[in-house]
Amino acid sequence: MKHHAVLITVLVALIVSLVSVSAIFWEFYKLNHEQYINHIFTKYTVITQIYREHQQRQSSEVMLEANLAVYDIEMIKDEKQKRTILTKSKILKREGFKSFNTSLMISEKGMYTKNTVTNLRATMLEYKKAIYFHIETPNGDILIRDNDLKPYSYINILYTYATVFLIISLSFVLVLQKLRPLIRLRKKIALYGKGNMNVSFKTSSEDEIGSVANELDKARRKINNILESRTLFLRNLMHELKTPIAKGTIATQMLESPKQRERFTSIFKRLETLVNEFAMIEEVTSLNDKKDFSEYRLVDIIDGAIDMAMVERESVSVDVPADVKIQANYRLYTTAIKNMIDNAMKYSTDAHITIRINEEGELCFESKGECLKHPLQYYIEPFTKENPSKNSYGLGLYLVDSILKAHGQVLAHEYENGVNRFIFA
């Protein structure tokens, strides 16, 4: 979901827009239809007046038809047709009302006015695309067909709705088309992040996404050049340093003074260790993916680290179940554990370290000693010292932290009852 947030947002916007437009047009259609029905329904008053006059004067049906024909209204006289229409037609509107009629009357007492109230009901019907009016009175009823009026047509509204619907849909299709380069760019960036340094972001497009892609390609080339220069520099530096270190180590053995020989041997050994650590750091920082990772038993990695540290087995207590396995780069992870052993041998008060798995399933390194005087972050920096009178921490913890980050872990520290506890969390 998160990888397609923009696409999903666009689709949701499209759906909301289309639903909103559809709802608006539906409400407009209902309102317009109702107004149309109400407008043409008013014609029943003319029909009612003609029919009432016909009843009052008791004129002939010929006269009634003639009066209705003036308004292009046709009376349905066939009873069978009339029943069919009344049965099968659709009622558009029906309304009951009272008709008031005033007439002048003469009696023995003289002239007077007589008011007559008649209950009427008018029904507007639709049958086979024609409009009919059914007028009912206490004295009878009449069904007429209005040839002027046509049923409500929704074609214009449907045409307008379809046009708006199509325009919105096409607009969103164009937006999605513009987003396609962004999706391709995201995939290329992912490939670059996985270590494919030759992937190209360059594009011929001149829009905003194209500009971003071309700038990314420029940045990619610069980063590649910097990485190549750094790698070449480190490799040449380490190669050039190893030769004089080897020569210096050989020359040291020719010194007659044991004190001087021991001092220079320590110096060259330290230089060789630093060169190897630099090489390891270069390897860690160049680790782009986990293709070199495999599953190993943790006890096997710890055994390899003890051998690499060249310490007595009695100096290391291992309390790790044999069935615990991890995905790791064997050489790098072994180096990280070896550095933790070296660190304990150097700074613990009894030159002993315990390696175990805690309750959270994390690898712990415990050794007796004084509590760290600074936060752990201080010691992760290269070449920091706990005490100027002692040797530098060098690149040991910095290298451990870098290796753990490459494995998706972090280095943590806690102090309890005179014991320093470093944790691979």
DSSP per-residue string spanning 281-320 = HHHHHT--SSTT-EEEEHHHHHHHHHHHHT--GGGEEEE-
330-347 helix and 298-309 helix, angle to the nearest 10 degrees: 50
The answer to whether 97 touches 122, Cβ cutoff 8 Å, is: yes
- Asked if residue 84 lies in contact with residue 76, where contact means CB atoms within 8 angstroms, the answer is no
- Alpha helices (H) in 348-394, listed in sequence order: 376-380
Residue 395 falls within a domain, yes or no?
A: yes
Among 117, 118, 116, 120, smallest CA distance to 96 is for 120
The domain spanning residue 375 has which CATH number? 3.30.565.10
pLDDT of res. 59: 61
What order do you get walking across the sheet with 90-107 strand by strand? Answer: 73-75, 140-146, 130-137, 110-127, 90-107
pLDDT of residue 201: 78
Q: What is the pLDDT of residues 73-83, one digit of tens each?
A: 777 878 888 88
- What is the Rg, in whole angstroms, of the alpha carbon atoms belonging to the chain? 49
Q: What is the DSSP letter of 4?
A: G
Specify whether 279 is located in the same domain as 353: no
- Whether 66 is covered by a domain: the verdict is yes
Determine the distance from the C-alpha atom of residue 328 to the mean position of all C-alpha atoms in its chain, rounded to a whole number: 32
In a domain, 97, yes or no: yes
Coarse DSSP helix, strand, coil percentages of the chain, rounded to the nearest 5 percent: 55, 20, 25
Domain boundary among 229, 254, 284: 284
| pLDDT at res. 91 | 85
Asked if the structure places residue 294 within a domain, the reply is: yes
- Structural contact between residues 96 and 89, judged by C-beta atoms closer than 8 angstroms: no
Task: For residues 161 and 34, state if they share a domain.
Answer: yes
Pick from 167, 191, 166: nearest CA to 289: 191
Token code pair at residue 153 = 């047509």
Per-residue pLDDT, 393:
44
Asked if 173 and 24 sit in the same domain, the reply is yes
Are 420 and 360 within one domain? yes
| 347 plus 414 within the same structural domain | yes
Q: Are 122 and 130 in contact (CB under 8 A)?
A: no
Contacts of 319 (CB under 8 A, 6+ apart): 354, 355, 356, 357
**Residues 6+ away with beta carbon under 8 Å from 418:** 368, 369
Quote the domain boundaries for residue 139.
44-146
* Residue 390, pLDDT score: 45
Q: Fill in the amino acid letter for 183.
A: I
List the chain residues with pLDDT less than 70. 1-6, 44, 49, 51-65, 67, 69-71, 96-119, 138, 195, 234, 237-240, 278-291, 382-395
**3-state class of 91 per DSSP?**
strand
Q: Examine the domain organization and report whether 330 and 382 are in the same domain.
A: yes
Our measurement of the distance from residue 256's CA atom to the centroid of its chain's CA atoms, rounded to an integer in Å, reads 73
Per the domain annotation, does 187 fall within a domain? Answer: no
Same-domain status, 26 and 137: no
Same domain, 384 and 312: yes
Do 6 and 78 belong to one domain? no
Shortest CA distance to 346 belongs to which of 303, 317, 389?
389
- Please, what sign has the CA dihedral across residues 348, 349, 353, 356? negative
The interaxial angle of helices 155-193 and 5-41, nearest 10 deg, is 170
Number of folded domains in the chain? 4
